Structure 1
């Protein structure tokens, strides 16, 4: 990977200060992108951030006292792409079942060379790709040498692409395990895996403790209501546990030999459910950007139990959103809105 600047995107119709190109869910759904392309784009964003060319301020969070919703606002700048962006995220119904929840997320990109808007897009597909790509990069850098088995906990949006991305960065995995409680989610996991790796299949596990004891890599993506809670003493020596959503007990963090976070600051904001009895989180041993840059080791020895906290950095959303904007504008997708007229 290099930090070569990426050319701005746009079409003559979109490159003015009156119009905004809107890319809908269906616009983005029709764009094919290889998993390796996503991984490379996300990795490049981390490298640029570590090099000091990008900005990723702490996210702003608002949440009502009863916890029925949560909202985030994230501002960032990608220095290799010369793009500034704002991402918003709003989830309602956290006290309800999955089918009753509402979730909206959007990303607005601006070209920091011309000062003109690039596009505003639904960010749900960006997040559904970016997050498992980061987990796969964490696995590539932090899994024990010769890792052969991976367990994914949860079959929602993040769980469905976790295994295809893991196989993209760790092709030597030969045992793929999934723990889930929703039959339709399990079916979707299989469908996504077969779409990218037609000759591979998954083992559906019901004994979570036994599965966790066999797994070299565990990626926990489940929702807040999951019954899954893998404990530290279930893990084999050398296991890597990656927390995306829920499914790992706090002991996996507090008793880990090494703790890595994509952002310690964000872990302290969004990872409070992993705090100990005193409400404390341990300090991280390293953040992930210097690991990606090759400055810090992801792992020191094969028997080290590692806990990795995967929280989204807006610079990765910006890079991947910009990549989708490039592909969309090449196909003249989207709708021009005279927003500032």
Structure 2
């Protein structure tokens, strides 16, 4: 089994377009019934003082014939300092283990790819502006990924409170779209009201909780499992989308508000497969909940791993000898 550390993967390049294509293929294989993606397991740990939580996911990518196991552990919700996530892949064609690797680069790539696919499917065709709320690992690459699928976007806005995250977001945009400008905003409700696409990926909430009704008519809000979205955001939307109803039930039930039933109009794999619509009317305010699915981690992890191994990175370990 190959072992790839965070530093082994730090400068491995997989373009936004390639990541988006891999993630879309993962969703389509799931929609076609070829791949498997059980709902993730979440276990809050008993000592509330540490604010710890752990996740585990299992899935199978039929296109790559790769089985994946992913684990995540976080101690404390206010920082990524103690957040660790790994993925291991097994080759079902040969029956052999393939790789065990740090999953930070994978999550930082497949998450904005999913956001981009939701935006492409759910935004109005005449959408011209996007607002990114949050500058953590899950959000830094979002704007260049959005521009990859929606090059007509003209106004790009960013709200963040962490100087390092803001700088990283600016670097990511310059790397892929050096001619585009980024507008830093401070008034979140006003910026939401002026943006056709709003992505909320804030973990440490330093802004008013975002309400669906703040969106302009026809706007779409994408919550990346964010604490920055108001309770009841699902209920107040005209049209609702999620990546997985099962995982919404694990990580997003508060978004229905006051214990109300969660109503979802469409799931992303069905939208990408052409079996459901991304919206029904031009004036609909659409709310989309994005929860990480290993069916998207597997192809992205495989892309990073194959490039890293070909470049001689990491080490090979004989665990079973």
TM-score, normalised to structure 1's length? 0.90
- 8 Å contact 1:241–1:252 — kept in the other structure? no
Residue in structure 2 matched with residue 150 of structure 1 by the alignment: 130
Separation in structure 2 between the aligned mates of residue 273 and residue 154 of structure 1, nearest angstrom: 20
- 8 Å contact 1:143–1:217 — kept in the other structure? yes
Alignment gaps of 5+ in structure 1: 1-19
Deviation digits for residues 182-215 of structure 1 (CA, Å, limit 9, x no counterpart): 2222222111111111111211111111111110
How far residue 281 of structure 1 moved from its aligned partner, in angstroms, is: 4.4
Separation in structure 2 between the aligned mates of residue 226 and residue 284 of structure 1, nearest angstrom: 28
Separation in structure 1 between the aligned mates of residue 176 and residue 233 of structure 2, nearest angstrom: 31
Alignment gaps of 5+ in structure 2: none
Deviation digits for residues 131-181 of structure 1 (CA, Å, limit 9, x no counterpart): 010000000010011100000111111221110100011100000011112
Separation in structure 1 between the aligned mates of residue 89 and residue 36 of structure 2, nearest angstrom: 14
How far residue 248 of structure 1 moved from its aligned partner, in angstroms, is: 2.1
Separation in structure 1 between the aligned mates of residue 231 and residue 150 of structure 2, nearest angstrom: 26
- 8 Å contact 1:240–1:306 — kept in the other structure? yes
Deviation digits for residues 246-301 of structure 1 (CA, Å, limit 9, x no counterpart): 32213432110111000011011101332412x23422111110101112111222
Residue in structure 1 matched with residue 6 of structure 2 by the alignment: 25
Q: How is 1:68-107 mapped onto 2 (pairs within 5 angstroms)?
A: 68-94=51-77, 97-98=78-79, 101-107=81-87
Partner-residue secondary structure (3-state), 1:130: helix
Q: How is 1:230-249 mapped onto 2 (pairs within 5 angstroms)?
A: 230-244=210-224, 245-249=226-230
Residue in structure 2 matched with residue 259 of structure 1 by the alignment: 240
Separation in structure 2 between the aligned mates of residue 232 and residue 113 of structure 1, nearest angstrom: 46
Residue in structure 1 matched with residue 297 of structure 2 by the alignment: 317
Separation in structure 2 between the aligned mates of residue 188 and residue 180 of structure 1, nearest angstrom: 11
Separation in structure 2 between the aligned mates of residue 24 and residue 129 of structure 1, nearest angstrom: 16
Separation in structure 2 between the aligned mates of residue 197 and residue 294 of structure 1, nearest angstrom: 30
- 8 Å contact 1:143–1:239 — kept in the other structure? yes
Separation in structure 2 between the aligned mates of residue 188 and residue 195 of structure 1, nearest angstrom: 10
Partner-residue secondary structure (3-state), 1:159: coil
Asked if 1:64 is matched to 2:45, the reply is yes
Partner-residue secondary structure (3-state), 1:157: coil
- 8 Å contact 1:274–1:281 — kept in the other structure? no
Partner-residue secondary structure (3-state), 1:44: helix
| Structure possessing the higher radius of gyration over alpha carbons | 1
- 8 Å contact 2:205–2:228 — kept in the other structure? no
CA RMSD of aligned residues (A): 1.4
